[in-house]
Amino acid sequence: MPAWLLHDGRVVPRRPRRLLREQDEAITSAQLVDQVNAVPGRPAQTPKQVASILQVLRWTKTARGDTQKRKCWKITNSRDAHMRAFGYKQLMGFLATLERQRAWYPGVYDRPALFQCAKCGHSPETQEHVHECADHAAVRSQFAGSFRMLQPEETAPYNIGGLRPWATLGQLQGRIHPDWEAAIPTLPTCPSRCTRTASTAATIQQLLRASLEAWYLVIWLPRCQRTIEQEQRSGLHQGAKLRRMRAPRHSVADAPPSRRDAAEHAKGAADECTGVGRDADGRVHSRSR
């Protein structure tokens, strides 16, 4: 059943409806590109590149283990859901690193044993440090294996050894490298019965997907396991941590006397400036000057 658009009680015809929808999508896309490029220290992405990144995040793994790239926006599973959520958070700089956890929940991560890197003890643990502290041999192996599995049978795969895309995972954080578009056509191909090579755009998407799988499977999941073990050794178990995170914030009435007195003083100063008075029961009344 179509969803009609109404204006002043009249149905908007089909062509204006399409124009309104396209305009709304363009505004949303522009805001998303601005949000992606607002993350400091990352290469700027064009709207076309952001659209390509989002398309790769919609790819799904089938039961046979291969990757389905088309007609997969309504197909999902638990692994796809977790990997897509990771990809979106990484792109926006919202991964739950210990640096962000300490900023969000200072009452939970209140001592160095809880907010330093579980592998090397470095503090703060940022998204860049998570990559620096990873097993780079395993990252390279996973990246090469994922890229090889993404190659279609009818094309000759590129030899990406000279490009070394696994070395820039910490800098890109799920983005497209500015040099990929110019460098890919100059890469040699691996020995194959096929003579046709994949397009540059398709190869960039394969590199993005291999980056996502290497980041999630070899960098992020082992890091999460080490962090959970560190928290448990420090006495912070998962159930208690979630309860403390979800606990309500302390109100002024529950605050210590010094904070409560400061809040009351600030309220009285604001009332004095606005010409408002309060009686003994706290009711507000105007004050003549």
Q: Which residue has the tokens 């009680």?
A: 9
pLDDT at 232 over 80: yes
Q: How many CB atoms lie within 10 A of CB 235?
A: 9
Domain layout of the chain by residue ranges: 47-237
CA angle, corner 133, sides to 131 and 135, nearest 5?
Answer: 85
Strand ranges (E), the chain: 6-7, 10-11, 60-61, 67-68, 276-278, 284-286
Distance CA 273, CA 161 (A): 69
Phi-psi map region of 8: left, alpha, beta (phi>0 left; psi -120 to 50 alpha):
left
Write the burial class of residue 142 (CB in 10 Å: 0-12 exposed, 13-18 middle, 19+ buried). buried
SS3 111: coil
pLDDT at 186: 92
Helix axes 78-92, 47-57, angle to 10 degrees: 160
Give the confidence band of 206 by pLDDT, cuts at 50, 70, 90: very high
Q: Which residue has the tokens 């592998």?
A: 119
Q: What is the pLDDT of residues 243-256, one digit of tens each?
A: 888 888 765 445 55
Q: 32-37: long-range contacts at Cβ-Cβ below 8 A with a sequence spacing of 24 or more?
A: 35/92, 36/91, 36/92, 36/175
SS3 62: coil
Helix axes 47-57, 14-37, angle to 10 degrees: 90
pLDDT at 209 over 90: yes
**DSSP code of residue 215:** I
* CA dist list (Å): 191 to 42, 155, 167: 35, 11, 24
Give the confidence band of 68 by pLDDT, cuts at 50, 70, 90: confident
What tokens does 230 get?
């560190």
CA angle, corner 226, sides to 222 and 231, nearest 5?
Answer: 145
**DSSP code of residue 15:** H
pLDDT at 53: 94
193: closest CA among 153, 159, 158? 153
pLDDT at 267 over 60: no
Q: What is the chain's alpha carbon radius of gyration, rounded to the nearest angstrom?
A: 26
Would you say 6 and 16 are in contact if contact means Cβ atoms under 8 Å apart? no
CA angle, corner 272, sides to 266 and 276, nearest 5?
Answer: 110
Distance CA 135, CA 132 (A): 8
User: What residue type is 268 in one-letter code?
Assistant: G
pLDDT at 262 over 80: no
Average pLDDT taken over every residue of the chain: 82
The span from the first CA to the last CA of the chain, in angstroms, equals: 64
Q: What is the pLDDT of residues 96-148, one digit of tens each?
A: 999 999 999 998 998 998 999 999 999 999 999 999 999 999 999 999 999 99
Would you say 90 and 81 are in contact if contact means Cβ atoms under 8 Å apart? no
